[in-house]
Amino acid sequence: MNAPIAHEQDCDALTVYGRRLSSRLFLGTAQYPSPDALRGAVTQSGAQLVTVSLRRESSAGGSGDAFWRLIRDLGVDVLPNTAGCSSVKQAVTTAQMAREVFGTPWVKLELIGDDATLQPDVFQLVEAARILTEEGFEVFPYTTDDLVVGERLLAAGCKVLMPWAAPIGSGRGLNDPYALKLMRAHFPDVPLIVDAGLGAPSHAAAAMELGYDGILINTAVARAGDPVAMARAFALAIEAGRLALRAEVMDSQEMATASTPQFGTPFSPWSDHG
């Protein structure tokens, strides 16, 4: 097995809510074919932070205890997720329970408004974010790429935004690169994490090249033929995209430009030089 991804510890760490993270990959923990696959994927991704849905795992019966032990043994930190919530009351209650279980003020706030697309209910999302931040939570809101919603979430106390690239689990990649690029430009100093809809490592690299600060993935790794290898592939893609951004990707052009230098007319042994 390949060695886990090594990340730049000092010069390029991601800081969110005052905490430095050397890995820019957040990994979901649902839908893996086996505990070994989840364990290997987390290890190979180099992720420091994994998301866990309290509602889903609590409803899994006795298997929930084994899952908690696995997560603890991995030695990573947990970002509790309010996945499955469709109302402010549900989301707030779930977050409060998660804080008691995991002992962290961090919560990924997910509040779904449409069952077909799993699009966030941005109206309830802002309200729940305000309530939770007033209670001392540090909220990571799963949102759309709408600038006005982003402004409202920041005003509610959020210090990070997690816009979707496409519907959860769709694997479509960046549905609207223009909107994501505009969001990055509009919030230059806010940590932005692309969450949902990425299906391939190339999608993650493209998001990082736009200037995004990190990626949260689950389905693309968990449902891959080899989740462990795919986790490593995403980690490498995120590193590559970040390095490409810092190196400044060339601008595209409509016409070709010769890349080989020309110093006069090349000499040919068959040409007539008298």
Question: Which residue in 201, 208, 215, 204 sits closest to 249, CA to CA?
Answer: 208
Q: Give the active site residues.
A: 108
Question: Which residue in 82, 131, 140 sits closest to 106, CA to CA?
Answer: 140
Would the annotation count 260 as a binding residue?
no
Would the annotation count 197 as a binding residue?
yes
Distance (Å, whole) CA 159 – CA 167: 23
Give one DSSP letter per residue of 94-151, joined into a string.
HHHHHHHHH--SEEEE--B--TTT--B-HHHHHHHHHHHHHTT-EEEEEE-S-HHHHH
Would the annotation count 169 as a binding residue?
yes
Q: How many CB atoms lie within 10 A of CB 65?
A: 11
- Partnered with residue 115 across adjacent β-strands are none
Distance (Å, whole) CA 54 – CA 29: 11
Alpha carbon of 199 to those of 127, 184, 206, 220: distances in Å? 31, 21, 12, 5
Would the annotation count 219 as a binding residue?
yes
Contacts of 210 (CB under 8 A, 6+ apart): 177, 180, 181, 184, 245
- The binding site for 1-deoxy-D-xylulose 5-phosphate comprises 169, 196-197, 218-219
- The binding site comprises 169, 196-197, 218-219
